[in-house]
Amino acid sequence: MAKLKETFLVVLALFWFLYPSFAVKKEDILFIKYHIHITNDLPSDLPPGVPYLELHCKSKTKDLGLRKMLRHEDYSWDTKINYWRTTLFFCNVSWEGKQRYIEAFKAIRDEWRCLKYHHSCMWSCSLYPAFAVKNEEDLLFINYHIHITNDLPTYVPPKIPFLDLHCKSKTRDLGEKKLVQREDYTWDTKINYFRTTLFFCNAFWEQKHRFYATAMKMLSVDSHHS
């Protein structure tokens, strides 16, 4: 009996020693700050700079107010989970007379699901094939927008291009592009099924050459689709 008791105490001691290393305590979830992102990826016939998507999000105790969003604009806020794990933020989304309702953050659903995306819960308002608001599980259907801006100095006259850019992926060649100062070059892409989508670019300026790659990976939607 004494030997059994001694064995039990050894096992108990090992459990207390190893537990912090192998487990994420549920109590720790209460101290994590979650980041909710909603991006407007809907089309619009309105002029640039005119907001056209209306978003109103709130919880039982916090009203975030009405938000009007431009195309590709990202709206975000932070929250923590309460002790009872009942934290809930819901949103009404309006676009061209159509409305959608989403539960943007629900503690019992998102406390672990969003944890794997660096505490970020990401949503996209899009048109695939109908007006819908999709979460990060649907990232394969989201259009990502890559922007490259020429902020290099130059001594050539204005409106004369001086930066040569050539971007492509394994299956898509975007061709050569000559950029003037402050010009922005952009293209859209989606993530493939295997999440290996990769665009790489060669940039030439004053006989200097640089190579860089922009990879579309499933990360924290710090990725704002831009």
Give the domains, in start order, of the chain with CATH numbers: 26-141 (2.60.40), 144-215 (2.60.40)
Residue 209: the pLDDT is 65
Q: How much is the pLDDT for 64?
A: 97
Task: List the Cα angle 106/110/115 in 5-degree steps.
Answer: 150
115 contact partners, CB below 8 Å, separation of at least 6: 29, 32
* pTM (2 d.p.): 0.52
Tell me the HSE value of 96 on the side-chain side, using a 13 A CA sphere: 11
> What is the predicted pLDDT for the residue at 128?
64
pLDDT at 212: 57
15: enclosing H helix or E strand: helix 2-22
Q: Are 100 and 133 in contact (CB under 8 A)?
A: yes
Report the chain (226 residues): mean pLDDT per 10 consecutive residues.
48 39 53 92 86 95 96 93 93 92 92 83 80 64 78 81 90 92 86 77 81 43 37
Tokens 């001594």 belong to: 155
